[in-house]
Amino acid sequence: MAEWVRFESTLWSRMQLVRRHDSRAVAEFVDRYRDPVYRFIRNAGFAEPDAEELTQDVFTRLLAEDVLAKAESEKGKFRTFLLGVTRNVIREERRRRGAAKRGSPVPLDPEKPDPAAPEPADAAFDGDWVRNLLGAALEELRREHPNYHRALEAHLRQDRDQREIAAELGASVQDVKNHVHRARRKLTEYLQREVSRYASSADEYEEEIRYLAKFLSG
């Protein structure tokens, strides 16, 4: 485990501090983890405006004191806990709409999800979770080391010749190779830091890092 990782307070305690203090802290917390929640709800068949509203509902519940108390007592993984809250919101909304449909004399919006439709698998949420972490790490790399980011992006996503990348960056081919190598190392560090933001124990951190490595290698 990286030496800089520390777990001096649990995630649940940090979430309580977010809930009790300034709105910017809440906004930053929600922004960091909303994307996989929103995508999971959209994959469950909800239209964009409804998915936005339900995503907000997930985080409202997430920061409720009784939910936090339950989560802290169970000492579970944050990723699993967040998925559980999301599933509960989806199921409750489907039950509400199912009841409304049975009591309605006119057809409801055909774009609304079928309350009996199957929910997306956990793997769909986990995939979006990893992509969200990777996106955050890449954005940090872009801010902190733009040349590393440009070299890595051109190397991996655009499959370009290193001489062409070198000419674009005004660097040598060896410089590009060094940039790519350092970019990979920095990206790993940033991903580890992203995991440490939500892992509330060393065991959870190590498990999430193993999962992340397995997912990315696949």
pLDDT digits (tens, 9 = 90+) for 6-54: 544 456 666 666 666 667 767 888 888 999 999 999 999 999 999 999 9
> Which of 38-47, 71-80, 112-121 tops mean pLDDT?
38-47
> Considering only CA atoms, which of 53, 41, 35 is closest in space to residue 91?
41
Q: Does residue 68 have a pLDDT over 60?
A: yes
Determine the Cα angle at 7 with ends 58 and 131, to 5°. Answer: 45
Buried b / exposed e over 161-191, threshold 16 CB at 10 Å, is ebeebbeebebeeebbbebbebbeebbbebb
What is the pLDDT, as a whole number, of residue 1?
45
Q: Which residue type, as a one-letter code, is found at position 55?
A: T
Burial 113-141 (b: 16+ CB within 10 A, else e): bebeeebbeeebbbbbbbebbbebbbebb
pLDDT for the residue numbered 171 = 86
Spatial separation of the C-alpha atoms in residues 64 and 39, rounded to whole Å: 22
CB 116 within 8 A of CB 81: no
pLDDT for res 130: 92
Tokens 């806990």 — which residue? 81
C-alpha distances out from residue 156 to 74, 135, 188, 191, Å: 41, 14, 15, 17
- Position 78 scores a pLDDT of 84
> Hey, what amino acid is at 210?
R
Give me the half-sphere count of Cα atoms (radius 13 Å) on the Cβ side of residue 53.
6
pTM: 0.77
Does residue 104 have a pLDDT over 80?
A: no
Closest CA to 6 of 133, 135, 195: 195
**Range of lowest pLDDT (67-76, 117-126, 138-147, 159-168):** 67-76
